[in-house]
Amino acid sequence: MKRVLLMVTLMFFPRLLAAQSLDISSLEGESWYGLYLNGQKSGYSMHVVKKAEDGTVSVQEDAHFRMNMAGVPQEMSMFANRVYAADGRLLSVESTIDDAKSTSRFNAVVEGNTLLLRADIGGAVSEQEFPRPKESLEDALKQVELVQGDANVGDALTFTTFEPMKPGEIKGRSEIIAVEERLLEGAPTKVYKIRTTMDFMGIETVSYVTEQGTTLEDITAGQITMRLEPEEIAKDVDYSNDVIVSNAAMVDEIITDPRTRNGLRLRLSGPLSPAHLFNDERQFLTKNGDGYEFTGKAVNLEGFETAPLPVTDEKVAQWLEPTLFVQCDDPRIVEKAKEIVGDETDSLKASALLSEWVYKNVDTIFSARLTNALEVLDSLEGDCTEHSILFVALARAAGIPAREVAGLIYMDSGTRPGFYFHQWAKVWVGKWIDVDPTWNQPLADVTHIKLAEGDLFQQAQLIPIIGQIKVEVLDEASGG
Domain positions in the chain: 2-234, 249-479
What does the alpha-carbon distance between residue 107 and residue 94 come to, in Å, rounded to a whole number?
5
What does the alpha-carbon distance between residue 231 and residue 211 come to, in Å, rounded to a whole number?
23
pLDDT score for 152: 86
Which CATH number is 249-479 given? 3.10.620.30
- Residue 33 CA: distances (Å) to CA of 26, 202, 214, 230, 252: 18, 24, 12, 8, 38
pTM for this one?
0.81
pLDDT score for 22: 47
Angle at 213 between CA 212 and CA 216, to 5 degrees: 110
pLDDT in tens, the chain (480 residues): 555 555 555 555 544 444 343 466 666 788 899 998 878 888 999 988 888 999 899 989 999 988 777 667 778 889 999 999 988 889 999 999 888 777 889 999 999 999 999 999 867 788 999 999 988 886 555 545 566 667 888 988 888 889 898 888 888 888 999 998 887 777 888 899 999 888 766 678 899 988 777 788 988 878 789 999 999 999 988 766 666 777 789 998 899 999 999 999 999 999 888 888 999 999 999 998 899 999 999 999 999 999 999 999 999 999 999 998 999 999 999 999 999 999 999 999 999 999 999 999 999 887 666 778 998 999 898 889 999 999 999 999 999 999 999 999 999 876 689 999 999 999 999 999 999 999 999 999 999 999 999 877 777 778 778 788 999 999 754 444
pLDDT score for 87: 86
* Residue 151 CB neighbour total at 10 angstroms: 18
What does the alpha-carbon distance between residue 196 and residue 111 come to, in Å, rounded to a whole number?
30
pLDDT score for 19: 38
